[in-house]
Structure 1
Amino acid sequence: MRVLVIGSGGREHALCRALADSSSCTHVFAAPGNPGTAAVGTNLSLDPADHSAVARSVQEHDIDYTIIGPEKPLVDGIADHLRAHDHPVMGPSADAARLEGSKAFAKSFMQEHGIPTASFRTFEANEAEAAHDYIRTQPVPVVVKASGLAGGKGALVCTTREEAHEALDRIVDDRDFGAAGDRVVIEAFMEGDEASVFVLTDGDRYVVCPPSQDHKAIGEGGTGPNTGGMGAYAPTPLVDGATLTAVCRTVVEPTLKGLSDAGTPYQGILYVGLMLTDDGPKVVEYNCRWGDPEAQVVLPLLENDHAALFDAVARNALTGVQVRASAEACVGVVLASQGYPHDYDTGVLIEGVDLAEQMEGVHVIHAGTRLTEDGTLVTDGGRVLCVVATAPTLETAIERAYEGADAIQFDGKTLRRDIARSGLMAT
């Protein structure tokens, strides 16, 4: 099979790497890709926003199916466009992708279908005064969210009402998240541990991947502003068999049924972000694609032929397919640019990637990197690399990941030193 992966970040490199290792995949393409995807396949100079150009490239390169990595192309309807040209896609339609594209839609959907989540109210941007009035009646902490896509940074946890009013002003008046702030969701704060569950579904059937835990905040102990993710590990002991069964029964199945009943069946990877509360698991958010950096630690644990598994999803052929998961643990530590998630420099020399990849159980995923004309590797984004390690135990995987992270050097390198520590405490 010849497979195309749309996107240019760490998630896409992780997908391309998994596909390249699959016996049934003869060639993997990435559009536009990055230096990591180029090392395992062929990068295509395509703009994911140009759906017609993508469709033409699919024909030109005889692609068997396409995986859509980032959320924005999905929300913008790229999967619909490719399917209209009879091309199989692993990724939901624009209507189904509203689960991520609009937090307001997702919350209303959960309310309609009895899916456990935090209580909430939704306000239009021109209803700011009513939103401020609502904040005055709510206990704190409270969460203020831009409804649209905000790169994982649009959910603001506020410990005081003053912070909540300021967060609302940032979203609505200052437009910190652009058009994502056209609607605002204000919801109750949920206490507990967060975890991520990924479900592969062909629209009728689904299979579940090993649960993982992301670390969203920039600082250790979950402090500072949210980022796109500073590291992850899998499987997480926080989601045991009973909890996973409950998630499937109370979240996954009613979600897929509700979408199917509405005439918008979901086909692709459904990411359920959970809060594990004293009252049971509740949904924090849905995402309509693989998580980043969760994909980096979940994919290495899948013992299936990745290309064949994803092909079954894209072709509505999951009947009889089961996920086989390794008994090992996997940890990913993100190396970020100084200043991320705010302003940061690019073009900074990166050294030591080869040293890290020579270590036992370690590989390095490219996210925000590029090669200069003379072949020098430099930074080109906020999240630069993700050092991934597998091992028989979580403790050893942590040690290997940080050994690899310490072997890589670039000015301003920023990382958390507590990735996966909560998993050790839970065992």
Structure 2
Amino acid sequence: MGATAVSAHAANQWKARMNVLILGSGGREHALARACARSPAIGKLMVAPGNPGCAQVAETHPVDLGDHGQILALCRRHAIDLVVVGPEAPLVAGLADDLARQGVACFGPSAAAARLEGSKGFAKDFCREFGVPTADYRRFRSGVEAKAYLRERGAPIVVKADGLAAGKGVVVAETVEEAEKAVDALLPAGSTPGAEVVIEEVLEGEEVSFFALCDGSVAAPFASAQDHKRVGEGDTGPNTGGMGAYSPASIMTPEMTERVMREIVTPTVEGMARRGTPFRGVLFVGLMIGRDGPKVIEFNVRFGDPETEAILERLSDDLPPWLAACAAGTLPQGSPAFRPEAALTVVMAARGYPGEPMKGSRILGLDEAGRVPGVVVLHAGTRQAGEAIVADGGRVLAVTAIGRTVGEAQERAYRAIQRIEWPEGFCRKDIGWRAVARETELGS
């Protein structure tokens, strides 16, 4: 079903244009706001708390995302029809459940379904129960037992925090000593009761982010991307929330997409329904594609960041009706339409990230950067200070470009970055390197 049919579906459902509230303040939310602002299905568009970039296309309202009462009051005050939740923490905390009790539709799963991201251990047990391919693993609440297992298994090995960790609670240890240090950090003596780590085998292959829209019983493929988690060039240094991404991932051929839907997404959606916790929203599957085919690294229960910035720049379909259909449990057949071009996002971060970032530095040249053809500068961690835009987070900007190839998109993004005057910021210089190397090889 194409954009017109889905929009008609949404209009019939809501009997009017939708008032939509997007929750969050990062580059993902700026990208979602831009995509929704283009839609004829939108009445009022709001982002809370938003950022200066969001404010260019929507109303922004200060709100504490941990205070569900504030969010519910905002929904009542502005007659919100649909809430689109950006970050994972409110979903894990049960925001979708609280909204449902007040009759407000939410694009995002219940707390019970959000455990797919909220607990790595739960997700691994779920995969085992429903035959979803993933790495072999063990769960531990005792540091002593975890270390004994590490010495038995050897390295390399992966150590993960069970709960939410903003993309930083994963250590791929090359030695047993490194793995033991990770256990000490994630499961220290006297830690919170119930604290847990998951230890799993290292998967070999190529990592891909795959997204599917879900309405509780039906799933539709959405898009793919490749993220760059490490802070340094050549995938070196500590993990971050993501230093850049490009879309689509070339390894996600139509055949591989069909296989991922058949072997991973459909069994997951069906399994959640059988458990009585239907999954509605976007299922983000972190995949490793190796010789044995695709395996789940992790599940996320919301749009990824910075993948969303690249993905939505390619979207040619009307986004809000698809989101509304997921929330209503009425997802149509088919999948959203995308432009054939590639898109690439480079994250500009504040010095000190992923540790303690420098805040308050002024950023100049944003308008000039946005004049590069095919480029949009998305705000991720900024705030307005009088007439100035200043850094107010770790990941501060998401410079996104579209091009006929990943290489062309890459060249445009870095050309735009050269126009940004921000000495206190930095970025990786090699986002998209795998795809560009493939394109060069194919062209030679």
Alpha-carbon separation, structure 1, partners of 2:334 and 2:328: 13
Alpha-carbon separation, structure 2, partners of 1:143 and 1:311: 37
Counterpart of 1:42 in structure 2 is 59
Query: Equivalent of 1:393, from 405, 411, 414?
Result: 405
Matches within 5 A, 1:47-196: 47-124=64-141, 127-173=142-188, 182-196=195-209
Alpha-carbon deviation of 1:354? 0.4
TM-score (structure 1 length as normaliser): 0.96
Q: Secondary structure at the match of 1:407?
A: coil
Q: Secondary structure at the match of 1:342?
A: coil
Q: Secondary structure at the match of 2:29?
A: helix
Q: Secondary structure at the match of 1:283?
A: strand
Query: Equivalent of 2:335, from 310, 317, 322?
Result: 322
The residue identity in structure 2 corresponding to 1:134 is Y
Q: Which runs of 5+ in 1 are unaligned?
A: none
Counterpart of 1:334 in structure 2 is 347
Counterpart of 2:50 in structure 1 is 33
Alpha-carbon deviation of 1:365? 0.8
The 8 Å contact of residues 352 and 408 in structure 1, kept in 2 or not, is answered as yes
Alpha-carbon separation, structure 2, partners of 1:111 and 1:371: 48
The 8 Å contact of residues 143 and 189 in structure 2, kept in 1 or not, is answered as no
The 8 Å contact of residues 147 and 185 in structure 1, kept in 2 or not, is answered as yes
Counterpart of 1:24 in structure 2 is 41
Seq. identity, %: 45
The residue identity in structure 1 corresponding to 2:329 is N
Query: Equivalent of 1:198, from 162, 187, 211?
Result: 211
How far does the alpha carbon of each residue in 1:5-42 deviate from its partner, in whole angstroms, 9 at most, with x for none?
Answer: 01111111111111111122133101111111111111
The aligned length equals 422
The residue identity in structure 1 corresponding to 2:223 is P
The 8 Å contact of residues 310 and 345 in structure 2, kept in 1 or not, is answered as yes
Counterpart of 1:262 in structure 2 is 275
Alpha-carbon deviation of 1:310? 1.4
How far does the alpha carbon of each residue in 1:245-294 deviate from its partner, in whole angstroms, 9 at most, with x for none?
Answer: 11111110110011000000000010000011111111000000000000
Alpha-carbon spacing, 1:180–1:253, altered in 2? closer, same or farther (3 Å): farther
Counterpart of 1:252 in structure 2 is 265
The 8 Å contact of residues 171 and 181 in structure 1, kept in 2 or not, is answered as no
Alpha-carbon deviation of 1:140? 1.5
How far does the alpha carbon of each residue in 1:358-390 deviate from its partner, in whole angstroms, 9 at most, with x for none?
Answer: 110000111110011x22110000000000001
Alpha-carbon separation, structure 2, partners of 1:203 and 1:375: 45
Following TM superposition, the consecutive aligned residue runs of length 4 or more in structure 1 with deviations greater than 3 angstroms are: 178-181
Alpha-carbon spacing, 1:346–1:180, altered in 2? closer, same or farther (3 Å): farther
Tell me, yes or no, if structure 1 residue 367 matches structure 2 residue 384. Answer: no
The 8 Å contact of residues 302 and 326 in structure 1, kept in 2 or not, is answered as yes
How far does the alpha carbon of each residue in 1:174-195 deviate from its partner, in whole angstroms, 9 at most, with x for none?
Answer: 89xx869911000101111110
Alpha-carbon spacing, 1:228–1:181, altered in 2? closer, same or farther (3 Å): farther
The 8 Å contact of residues 231 and 419 in structure 1, kept in 2 or not, is answered as yes
Counterpart of 2:296 in structure 1 is 283
The 8 Å contact of residues 91 and 288 in structure 1, kept in 2 or not, is answered as yes
Counterpart of 2:306 in structure 1 is 293
Q: What's the RMSD between the two structures over aligned residues?
A: 1.4
Alpha-carbon spacing, 1:76–1:261, altered in 2? closer, same or farther (3 Å): same
